[in-house]
Structure 1
Amino acid sequence: MLIEQVVDRLAAAYSNVPREDVAHTVANAHDRFQHCRIREFVPLLVERRARAELSRSESLLVWSS
């Protein structure tokens, strides 16, 4: 449920990116933290990682335009 909220926040923040792409980016970030023993911070870490990926992708789109 918390991960879905991350998708919602990032989809709103990156409205120019299709929601499916945002969800895919979040899922990939979430997979990286799958084996963490301390689960309380996973949603925060996932959001930060996904935001960084989306920002990087967004800047590449600006440069290629």
Structure 2
Amino acid sequence: MPIEDEDKAIAEVVERVAEKFPDVEPEVVRETVDAKVDEFEGAAVRDFVPVLVEHEVTDELRET
């Protein structure tokens, strides 16, 4: 996946997660997503990073 496509997909993840958790500040959602994306740095296959990040961030925010 080209980096531009991944960046767009990550921006969409931020929007979807922010909609699911309106009580969480958008900046917190963005920071949480960015932190999860960083965990996948160096991954050989990047196509599923946005999906994995969305699932992990959603799970993390549900626990708080």
What's the TM-score, normalizing by structure 1?
A: 0.83
Paired residues, number: 57
- Superposed CA deviations along residues 19-63 of structure 1, whole A, max 9, x for unmatched, are 000001101111111111011101001111111111111xxxxxx
- Larger relative contact order (CA 8 Å, sep ≥ 6): 2
Runs of 4+ with >2 A deviation: none
2:30 to 12, 15, 23: 23
Q: Structure 1: 5+ residue runs without aligned partners? A: 58-65
Structure 1 residue 13, shift from structure 2 partner: 0.4
- Superposed CA deviations along residues 1-31 of structure 1, whole A, max 9, x for unmatched, are 1100000000000001000000011011111
Larger Rg: 1
Supply the distance in 1 between the matched residues of 2:46 and 2:36 (Cα, whole angstroms).
14
Q: Superposition RMSD on alpha carbons, in Å?
A: 0.7
1:6 to 7, 13, 17: 13
Q: Structure 2: 5+ residue runs without aligned partners? A: 1-7
What's the TM-score, normalizing by structure 2?
A: 0.84
Q: Secondary structure of 1:12's match? A: helix
The percentage of aligned residue pairs carrying the same residue is 37
Q: Secondary structure of 1:20's match? A: helix
